[in-house]
């Protein structure tokens, strides 16, 4: 069955009576999800801030749900929670703080789904991570391979904490009939990403490194590993669209990949970024640093079949937008 043979429900009709809680709604991915929800006409958006509701604290979760559900016009069955809040970072941050990545993510997720079920929430959308896949998963990664091995060690605590939401989703659907779904996005990138060199992911880290080296006139940059690993990247706006299509159209607890089906080596990625940023120095590879998982590329056919999602932004286009955004924020005089 292809998307062209499916009659999907009207998007604006779905959202017009929904109150949507978006945890992490002010973050990188969350800001794009919120913008699309506004465009789709969601009846009400609730974006809890960490200063008001620390989602690692179960009492704060209960207070959040109480504050939303006590409103006279809100019925629990019309409330959707899109859980995007997470403690995330690159290889270096995961190696330095594995306990925090495990604890924070499991405590922000598992109790929230439990409290949502107790409160009668209509739907819970949980975001997993490609880091949940086994280290040596056959490429392309298929959802049925999720349990065929241990994740890559450098980010296993994070990946396994997020993976528990899949176990919970399936268990709560089986025992309670609770409607929750579990999505597995590949590495995201785009404007508004975290460009902090200490805890950012690979694309923003390399973009910043190249631009700063260009501005200083450095003759080289140092990159981790040997450049051989491959990665798949999904443009953040496409990811937001995939999440909302799944929210509208998918009601099952089998995991679903969200990706672009485009794979590139870290070596080719860095050489592309060097060219697009205008850095003229050489690349030195520090092979004492870890490569991370050898390959990452998802099978995205399930998302297309079950809720009609397919990424539309080419990698070249998305990368150019990302670099342009960072330049405009950090070096506006150069743009």
Which residue numbers are catalytic?
A: 158
Overall residue count recorded for the chain in this entry: 335
CB hemisphere CA count around 7 (13 angstroms): 0
Task: Please list, in sequence order, all residues whose beta carbon lies within 8 angstroms of the beta carbon of residue 296, skipping any fewer than 6 positions away.
Answer: 130, 133, 139, 141, 186, 187, 229, 230, 231, 232, 263
Dihedral-angle region of residue 106 (phi above 0 means left; psi in -120 to 50 means alpha; beta otherwise): alpha
3-class secondary-structure state, position 21:
strand
Surface-to-core class of residue 73, CB atoms within 10 Å of its CB (0-12 exposed, 13-18 middle, 19+ buried): exposed
Q: Write the DSSP symbol of residue 225.
A: S
Cα 183 from Cα 128, distance rounded (Å): 6
Helix (H) or strand (E) run with residue 209 in it:
helix 202-216
Helix (H) or strand (E) run with residue 282 in it:
strand 282-286
Cα 162 from Cα 155, distance rounded (Å): 11
The secondary structure of 101-127 as a DSSP string is: HHHHHHHHHHHHHHHHHHHT-SEEEEE
Cα 290 from Cα 34, distance rounded (Å): 35
Sheet holding 256-258, edge to edge: 44-46, 19-23, 79-83, 123-127, 180-185, 256-258
Cα 280 from Cα 7, distance rounded (Å): 52
User: What are the φ and ψ backbone dihedral angles of 135, each rounded to 5 degrees?
Assistant: -55, -40
């Amino acid at each position: 069955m292809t998307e062209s043979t499916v009659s999907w429900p009207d998007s604006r009709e779905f959202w017009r009576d929904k109150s949507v809680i978006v945890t992490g709604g002010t973050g990188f991915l969350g800001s794009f999800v919120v913008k699309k929800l506004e465009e789709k006409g969601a009846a009400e958006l609730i974006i809890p801030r960490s200063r008001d509701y620390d989602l690692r604290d179960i009492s704060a979760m209960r207070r959040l749900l109480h504050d939303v559900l006590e409103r006279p016009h809100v019925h629990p069955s019309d409330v959707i929670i899109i859980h995007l809040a997470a403690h995330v970072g690159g290889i270096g941050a995961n190696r330095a703080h594995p306990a925090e990545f495990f604890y924070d993510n499991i405590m922000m997720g598992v109790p929230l789904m439990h409290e949502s079920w107790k409160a009668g929430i209509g739907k819970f959308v949980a975001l997993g991570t490609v880091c949940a896949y086994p280290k040596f998963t056959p490429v392309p990664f298929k959802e049925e391979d999720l349990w065929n091995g241990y994740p890559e060690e450098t980010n296993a605590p994070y990946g396994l904490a997020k993976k528990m939401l899949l176990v919970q989703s399936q268990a709560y659907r089986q025992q309670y009939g609770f409607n929750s779904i579990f999505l597995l996005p590949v590495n995201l990138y785009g404007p508004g990403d975290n460009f902090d060199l200490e805890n950012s992911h690979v694309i923003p880290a390399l973009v910043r490194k190249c631009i700063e080296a260009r501005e200083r006139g450095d003759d080289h940059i140092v990159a981790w590993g040997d450049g051989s690993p491959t990665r798949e990247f999904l443009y953040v706006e496409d990811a937001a669209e995939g999440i909302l299509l799944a929210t509208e159209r998918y009601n099952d607890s089998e995991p679903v990949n969200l990706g672009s089906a485009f794979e590139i080596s870290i070596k080719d990625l860095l050489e592309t970024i060097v060219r697009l940023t205008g850095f003229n120095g050489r690349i030195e590879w520090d092979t004492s640093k870890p490569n991370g998982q050898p390959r990452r590329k998802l099978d995205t056919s399930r998302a297309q079949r079950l809720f009609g999602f397919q990424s539309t932004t080419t990698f070249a286009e998305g990368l150019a937008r990302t670099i342009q955004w960072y330049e405009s924020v950090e070096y506006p005089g150069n743009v």
